[in-house]
Amino acid sequence: MMDKEFCEITGFLFGPRLTNRLEAKELRTDRLFQELANLVFDSPEVLTALKSHIDGWLEKECSERTQALAGYIAYLDEDYEKASSAFMKAVTMNPDNLDSWLDLAFSLYHLSDPLGYAIIFNYDVFISLYREMGVEQCSRESLKQLQAEINRDRLEY
């Protein structure tokens, strides 16, 4: 149902969210955000329609793909706090997805949160440490702990 509604609103398919692994050395594989941004620029009413549906879609399918979509919708609506929250959930669900990390970083950056800047320029270290430290949930607190670990490692050199 969600896929059909999304297609009716946007005119394109809401496909699976593929994992963009750091090891693939691709900066971005998910094209959904760019497609939505272009569509919303030309047809702002699409954003209104998506906003009216996203909470119901999240209730029906709380997955990395719907969290990323919720983040994109909030980001395009310039609600960066809500976007960062959705992207943190997407990272928690799949910490190996570079796309989710970069989406989170830019949302935090727009909030003037130094973590955004740190992730943008150290995403590979954040992803690796997140894996190594066995972080269970991506949150501002866990990101601050990762940043502290990164800073501690740099001081040791």
- Cβ within 8 Å of residue 55, ≥6 positions away: none
- With respect to CATH, is domain 2-13+30-156 assigned 1.25.40? yes
Measured from the Cβ of residue 80, the count of other Cβ atoms closer than 10 Å reads 21
Strands (E), the chain: none
Measured from the Cβ of residue 97, the count of other Cβ atoms closer than 10 Å reads 23
For residue 12, the 8-state DSSP code is S
Q: How far is CA 145 from the centre of its chain?
A: 19
* Residue pLDDT, tens place only, 2-24: 999 999 999 998 888 889 998 88
pTM over 0.75: yes
* Residue pLDDT, tens place only, 60-100: 999 999 999 999 999 999 999 999 999 999 999 999 999 99
Q: Which of 32-36, 52-56, 78-82 has the lowest mean pLDDT?
A: 32-36
